[in-house]
Structure 1
Amino acid sequence: MARWLRRMFWAWYLRVFAGIVSIRQRQNGTTRFGRSSSGTTDGMAGMKDHIISAPLYDFSVPTFVKGLKVLAHMLEMGADHARENGIPIDDIAGWKLAEDMLPLSFQVQTASNTAKNSLPRVAGTEAVPMEDNERTVAELQKRITKIVELLKAVEAVKFAGKETDQVLMKAGPKELEFTAKTYITCFALLLFSY
């Protein structure tokens, strides 16, 4: 059970990372192996400047949408695994990668909250409260679908010119301060993919 969950976690993580790399490559015109369309090699070094100048929307929302869709697919694969092995499907939501970790339901809620909360923090949209009380695979799937719809409804123009805007975020008793670009690239995308 934990082995299956670990395998699914790493598959999801790598797919999200592949989405980030693919966005970076489109920004600077390189192929998968660091070659430009003209055939010259510029590798990752040439990507750095383009990553920084990538529009926030292009760098965040499509990555969140893709990652959440992959996560939904993995939940479905988990449900199939449970059906095939006579395991109650809703037990999956309580599975853990390790004993000292919180359950899969918490991990899905955290990933989806990170994506959802990026919208009001960066784009200035209205915050959508969610209770984080999902305990079944069906409830987790419904949550993911709702957040994907929220993300798709936001227009890229809402992110335009926001790179240097201040983002304040409470983390327990502390208040963290970021620029919008730093929040997306150094906090939200990392937490989402972790």
Structure 2
Amino acid sequence: MNFYHFTVPQLIRTLGQVHQWLDKAQKYAEQKKFDVNVLLTARLAPDQFHFTRQVQVITDNAKGTVARLAGVQAPAFEDTEKTVDELRARIDKTIAFLKTLTPEQFQGAAERTITLPFLPGQGIKGSDYLVAFALPNFYFHAATAYSILRHNGVDVGKGDFLGELPFFALPSGT
């Protein structure tokens, strides 16, 4: 299977779920009568990124992963978001970029040498990059953002993290 199918649809799906988490955060804030933007500075530990930074990293990972694997330039986003609406806009810009990519751009991605700006002079094979770094890193920050909201009382559960799954009915007798 082409790496496009392991990345673009999956990243878009998870980014869409972040929108759902923000919807639930908004409802929770309305019920409890506080400004939802208070949650943006929440964190699980003093030395861990706050919620806004987690979402920024999620979007950066999504666009960086596919850009590196497809051999294209990712758009640069300023890290200036201060409101839920600004985070939503960033997520939407990321999804829009992901939707510009095609499976053909991922041909040869498994063997492509990937370089990372924070590791000068080093490379990693595309397949190793995707499996050992890119996807685990993306999901780490997604799970952390989700956990920050849950820790602060937002009613999100595993279904909110996973989203709709592509199950289908089996023929009778199986």
**Contact (CA 8 Å) 2:70, 2:109: kept in 1 or not?**
yes
Q: CA deviation at 1:57?
A: 0.8
Tell me which of 170, 174, 178 is aligned to 2:124: 178
**Unpaired runs of 5+ in structure 2?**
141-174
- Give 3-state SS (helix, strand or coil) of 1:170's partner: coil
Among candidates 60, 65, 85, match of residue 12 of structure 2: 65
Q: CA deviation at 1:71?
A: 1.1
**Separation of aligned partners in 1, 2:48 and 2:42:** 10
1:93-132 equivalences under 5 Å are: 93-132=40-79
Q: Which deviates more, 177-186 or 109-118?
A: 177-186
- Return the alpha-carbon distance in structure 2 between the equivalents of residues 126 and 166 of structure 1: 15
Query: Gaps (5+ residues) in structure 1?
Result: 1-53
Q: 1:80 maps to what in 2?
A: 27
Secondary structure at 2:116 match in 1: strand
The one-letter code sitting in structure 1 at the alignment partner of 2:110 is E
Give the letter for the 1:181 counterpart: S
Say how many residue pairs are matched: 140
- The offset of 1:127, in angstroms, is 2.4
What letter is aligned with 2:100? A
Aligned partners of 1:131, 1:69: CA distance in 2, in Å?
A: 21
User: Whole-Å Cα distance in 1 between the matches of residues 76 and 32 of structure 2?
Assistant: 36
The offset of 1:137, in angstroms, is: 0.7
Q: Highest relative contact order (Cα 8 Å, sep 6+), 1 or 2?
A: 2
Pairwise mapping of residues 17-96 of structure 1 onto structure 2 (< 5 A)? 54-96=1-43
Matching of residues 152-167 of structure 1 within 5 Å:
152-167=99-114
2:91 is aligned with what amino acid?
I
Partner residue of 2:83 out of 110, 113, 136 = 136
Match of 1:147 among 94, 101, 104: 94
Instruction: Name 1:190's counterpart in structure 2.
Output: 136
Q: Distance in 2 between matches of 1:179 and 1:123?
A: 13
CA-to-partner distance for each residue in 1:136-170, whole Å, 9 max, x for gaps?
11110110011011111111110022210100112
Secondary structure of the 1:99 match is: coil
Alpha-carbon displacement from aligned partner over 1:63-83 (angstroms, at most 9, x marks no partner): 111111111110111111111
Q: How does 1:8-23 map to 2 (within 5 A)?
A: none
| TM-score of the superposed pair, with normalisation by structure 1 | 0.68
Q: Structure 2-normalised TM-score?
A: 0.75
Q: Secondary structure at the match of 1:161?
A: coil
What is the Cα-based RMSD across aligned positions, in Å?
A: 1.4
* Identity within the alignment, %: 27
Tell me which amino acid in the other structure corresponds to 1:178: I
Report the 3-state secondary structure (helix = DSSP H, G, I; strand = E; otherwise coil) of the residue aligned with 2:99.
Answer: helix
Between structures 1 and 2, the one with greater helix share: 1
Taking a change above 3 Å as real, the CA distance of residues 91 and 175 of structure 1, as seen in their structure-2 partners, is farther
Task: Give yes or no for contact 2:7–2:66 (8 Å, CA) kept in 1.
Answer: no
